[in-house]
Structure 1
Amino acid sequence: MTKMLLQLASLILLWGSVAAHMLMSYPPSLRYVHNPHTDPGNADSSLTSPLSPSGSDFPCHGSLHLLGTAEGAPVASWAAGASYNFTISGGAPHNGGSCQASFSFDGGKTFTVVHSYVGNCPSPAGGDSSFPFRVPADAPASDAAVFAWTWFNNLGNREMYMNCAVVKVSSSSSRGASEPLPFASRPKIFEANIGNGCTTQDSANLLFLSPGPDVDVNDQHAVPATGTCETATASSGGAGGDNSGESSGSSTGGNSGATPTALAVEPTNGVAGMSAGGGGDSGPTGGTDDENSTEYIPGNFFPQGYSLGSRAVETAAVALAVAVLVDFVLLA
């Protein structure tokens, strides 16, 4: 009886630990168990968890110290001006949310947005979802660029998720091609829910006030974050601000103003830009064969075929497990 009670208690704890978990499986993140350069003894079981509410592990779950080491070797080779995909895996997408893809060419000091996805990122259905982006033609060449995926979930606790992978970026013949915005003038990644005074709204998709020139708008009713949020970008010509200002036709003001007219953008790819089980153009399609199995790997992702649905479903499952445990205690 005692053994059964311990097993039930472990099940409840396991459920709680994976209920909010999503992860960038391609390109494989730093310290990801399926990253070919990861030392198995150094794998990070928290990659599927949100960043600390204090921001103490921002950016990249504190893994950038691996840059320049064997574990920080590139996992993909991309060319400036070319298009690729990144893949998000997991079973608890919290009704999706809004994401950004970005690059850092200074070791993680700054991250520059190359694509924003407003709504449906990741797929609300869970499982694997693949998102297209393009490396700007004027992006710097680097043997150790940091590619980052950041996610602000729709349902649940107000959180910020972030996974980072090291990639090689090479120049191409299209480097001199005209870009809608110079790389150096693209916006920084949006930061919220990490102790910086900026908070996203629950049960809503985040509207990025500075999405950059490449954006998929899958939710015309998305809402901006509240609080002191950085909104300055050259893409809209604004000077940045916080919640106290107005934003009329630019991102000059803060979140309490009207939605900037610069964000009245038609979806460029929309939901059609996502495909189940897709991987990066130059890498594996969603990872290794282990990801197609039905075995749960602790701290990484739920297997394909599991879809936890909404927070209500997750809560009901936990409540049922607790009720069963209580019954066993009473019968004992």
Structure 2
Amino acid sequence: MIFVKWHLLLQAAAFSPVYAHLKMTSPEPYSRDTINNSPLAADGSDFPCKLQPGAFHAPTEESIYWAGQNNTINLLGSATHGGGSCQVSLTSDREPTKTSDWKVIKSYEGGCPASVPSILPGDATSDHSLQLHFAIPKGIEPGKYTLAWTWFNRIGNREMYMNCAPITVANDSPSNAFDDTPKQSPAFPPMFVANINGCMTRENVDIRFPWPGSIVEYNGNRNNRPQESEPVCSGNPTFDPIQVTDPADTGAADSMTENPHLTSCSCGCQGN
């Protein structure tokens, strides 16, 4: 579940300027000291990761995750833009490019990174305990990866946010040494890309990802959800994620959590 200091939501706030956007602080991202918290460039020139080739400076110590164990992504800032939808994805490329093969391991549809009417008080340094909870699926092989957090805000300019961090996926931890639970085989569809490639999402909706993957968390207000038949974005994209070739890779949401005040829904939306 996504957590926030709820008492702060009662404070009135107007939209803050660009410097108050959000960025990932944990796992520690590439080029932590030089990346800012603004969205990706509208022309996609700094996709992926909001970094140019050769600018991927790894932290001194990178995060190590064990498959199946719970982890968190921590975000800093206050401009939550009414929430929206997020994804957590992995690629085996340590300095990703536009042609990298990103695989979604979890989607958050609505209320991401917080289920709020607009923004939280404060500025870029404000810590509202914004966290995304996820686990590395047991179908992911041990090795070195780049993890990406991507976000499509509900309110405001049509934007895409993205930060990346180098991580290591380790073998099962010692506590799982005698766990005979079979490995999961979730679908790992491609990362959704929009608002930087000519395909624009609609404002005031929590987008339904065309390929959400097997693990989906529903948050936010059900009235902010678009119709299932509604295209996820409109326009002629100048570049796309790697296309799904196996229909099984689109990922029906066979593992999901949801705010108890929301009704369940199908994830099988259609996109351009």
Aligned ranges for residues 158-177 of structure 1 at < 5 Å?
158-172=158-172, 177=182
Counterpart for residue 153 of structure 2:
153
1:123 is aligned to 2:126:
no
> What are the residue-to-residue correspondences of 1:182-261 with 2, within 5 Å?
185-194=187-196, 196-218=197-219, 219-220=221-222, 221-223=224-226, 224-228=232-236, 233=244, 237=248
Q: 1:106: which partner in 2?
A: 93
Q: Distance in 1 between matches of 2:158 and 2:211?
A: 20
Q: 1:236 to 1:270 in 2, by over 3 A?
A: farther
Match 1:49 to one of 38, 52, 55: 38
CA contact (8 A) 1:31 1:63 kept: no
Distance in 2 between residues matched to 1:16 and 1:158, nearest whole Å = 15
1:175 is displaced (CA, Å) by: 10
The superposition leaves residues 275-328 of structure 1 with CA deviations (integer Å, 9 ceiling, x where unpaired) of xxxxxxxxxxxxxxxxxxxxxxxxxxxxxxxxxxxxxxxxxxxxxxxxxxxxxx
Structure 2 counterpart of 1:116, one-letter code: S
Equivalent residue runs for 1:280-295 within 5 Å: none
Among 65, 79, 83, which residue is 2:66 paired with? 79
Q: How many residues align?
A: 217
Q: 2:66 matched to 1:61?
A: no
Runs of 4+ in structure 1 displaced over 6 angstroms? Answer: none
Higher helix share: 1
The aligned counterpart of 1:304 is none
Cα distance change, pair 123–235 in 1 and its aligned pair in 2 (3 A): farther
For 2:205 and 2:19, locate their aligned partners in 1 and report how far apart those are by CA, in whole Å: 22
Q: Which structure has the larger Rg? A: 1
Q: More deviation in 152-161 or 196-205?
A: 196-205
1:131 CA displacement: 1.4
Answer yes or no: is the 8 Å Cα contact 2:22–2:38 preserved in 1. Answer: yes
TM-score by length of 1: 0.58
Identity in percent: 31
| Conserved? CA contact 2:215–2:255, under 8 Å | no
> CA RMSD of the aligned region, Å?
3.1
SS in 1 for 2:17: helix
Q: Structure 2: give runs of 5+ residues left out of the alignment.
A: 1-15, 121-127, 227-231, 262-272
Could you give the per-residue CA deviations for residues 33-65 of structure 1, whole angstroms, max 9, x where no partner exists? 3xxxxxxxxx23x2x100011101000112563
Query: Is the alpha carbon distance of 1:164 and 1:83 closer, same or farther for their aligned partners in structure 2, counting shifts above 3 Å?
Result: same
Contact 1:119–1:206, Cα closer than 8 Å, also in 2: yes
- CA shift at 1:202, angstroms? 0.7
Give how far 1:140 is off: 2.4
Distance change >3 Å, CA 162–CA 104, structure 1 → 2: same
